[in-house]
Amino acid sequence: MALDAVLSWLHALSVFGVGALLFAELLLLQPTLVRAAAQWLYKIDLAYFGAGIAAVVTGMLRAAYGIKGWSFYAQNPLFHAKISLFLTMGVVSIWPTIIFLRWGRALRRDQTYMIAPKDRRSVRRWVVSELLLFLLIPLLAAMMARGMKV
């Protein structure tokens, strides 16, 4: 029982971290994107990746060693939907990560480098897409916790 509570707590913290870091990226991608904010984006994106890995690991540990057990999750279509959404978020996040790394390199090389507004808008749309996918995951989790099935 205690292990399940600790795993649940760690999983919730990591999922909240994913959401918070993704929201931080969105906030930094404002129309008035400044050099300092752009330099932070790849660092925040790296932390976002770490929080995502932590969410997967703690989620799998919870499924394997938690009270409900793996059989509850393995046969639950909502669980599969949650995993699919999370994987889709991972795929969608590839492009912003590439851009953040590119911006970081350019900013270190050239002190006068300016990020084009159209590039910022494009990446912002990708981050918004990730956030919209992310918002569905807790809904599916709540449905699953209440025994609902699709």
pLDDT tens-place string over residues 110-141: 878 888 889 999 999 999 999 999 999 999 99
- Domain membership of residue 53 as a residue range: 2-145
* 150 within some domain: no
* 26 within some domain: yes
* 81 within some domain: yes
* 71 within some domain: yes
* 76 within some domain: yes
Helix, strand, coil % (nearest 5) of the chain?
85, 0, 15
* 27 within some domain: yes
Domains contained in the chain, number: 1
Question: Does the pLDDT at position 150 exceed 80?
Answer: no
Using alpha carbons, list the distances in angstroms from residue 29 to 38, 94, 124.
8, 16, 6
The alpha carbon of residue 3 and the mean position of all alpha carbons in its chain are separated, in whole angstroms, by 25
* 128 within some domain: yes
Residue 116 is given by DSSP the state: -
pLDDT in tens, 19-46: 999 999 999 999 888 888 888 999 999 9
* 66 within some domain: yes
pTM of the model: 0.90
